[in-house]
Each structure stands twice: as C-alpha cells, then as structure tokens.
Structure 1
C-alpha cells in the first residue's frame, strides 16, 4: 500500500550556477508585504537544488519541490524545467 505524504512546498526560480555535479544554485524571488509600512517588498533568496540528470543550464526557469536533506545545503530538487534560458 502506498503511503501518502504531506503537501510539500514548491518554488519557482532562475538557475544562477550549474558548475557542481548534480547540484544547481537557484535564485527565488517573492513579494512580501512589509508589516508596518504595508508596502510590497521584493525578497530574494538563493537555494541549492538537486538536479539528478544535469539538464539545467544557466538562465533556465525551474520548478523546485521540497525534499529531505540531501547534503549540508541541499533541501530542494528539480521537478521540471519550465522555460529554457538564452545561452550565450
């Protein structure tokens, strides 16, 4: 019988680096509302993600899913490439 897992967080971001083996660095941007001034503020964060097939290239837009800790920094894995970036 298959056990059901809880809902996992999903993020969308842009690949910044892909120099490591099976690892990419992704920039995630999200708008949050400031608690006092109530203005929308752009928050940028950088996460490490697992790319099993080494398909992601710099500039690609990817969909990430939360996963168990794979290493000291990796807590996300690539679900799919949403749009391929322009290569120089």
Structure 2
C-alpha cells in the first residue's frame, strides 16, 4: 500500500527534531452541499530542525518514531 503524503503548515517547532503540522482538508457536505473545512494536527519528524513556524511542508507516513510521531517531513 502506498504511503500517504499530506501538505500543511508548521504550527510549532518547540520540540527537538519534531514539528507540529496543521493539515487542512475541504469537502462538500453530502446533504447541505456546503464546502466545509476541517483541520488536523500531525507531529512529524524533522531530523535537522530545518523547518520553522509558518513554513509549508509535505509530510509522509513512516514507521512509528515515538508515541505520537508517525510522519516524517518530506520537503518544504
């Protein structure tokens, strides 16, 4: 099965080698036919601490690195 790749914005870089990425998705409500925005935060591994708050990054699924990290930063 292919690994998922998501795009989002870095909202926190306070922890060592970890960034928090906010990923937003849009979809049409099945009944109301209204466009809805939903967002979710993912914790991603950033080996070199290269990304700062506000950067747009792509993240990819990986094997668990810690209790909460299951994603790696792919590129900016």
TM range (shorter): over 0.9
**Runs of at least 5 residues in structure 2 that lack an aligned partner in the other structure:** none
1:69 Cα shift? 1.1
Structure-1-length-normalised TM-score: 0.81
Across the aligned residues of Structure 1 and Structure 2, the Cα RMSD in angstroms comes to 0.9
Query: What's 1:48 paired with?
Result: 43
Higher RCO (CA 8 Å, separation ≥ 6 residues): 2
SS of corresponding position for 1:57: coil
SS of corresponding position for 1:74: coil
Instruction: Return the index of the structure with the highest Cα Rg.
Output: 1
1:59 Cα shift? 0.5
**Runs of at least 5 residues in structure 1 that lack an aligned partner in the other structure:** 1-5, 82-88
Counting matched residue pairs gives: 76
Structure-2-length-normalised TM-score: 0.93
Structure 1 outlier segments of 4+, above 3 Å: none
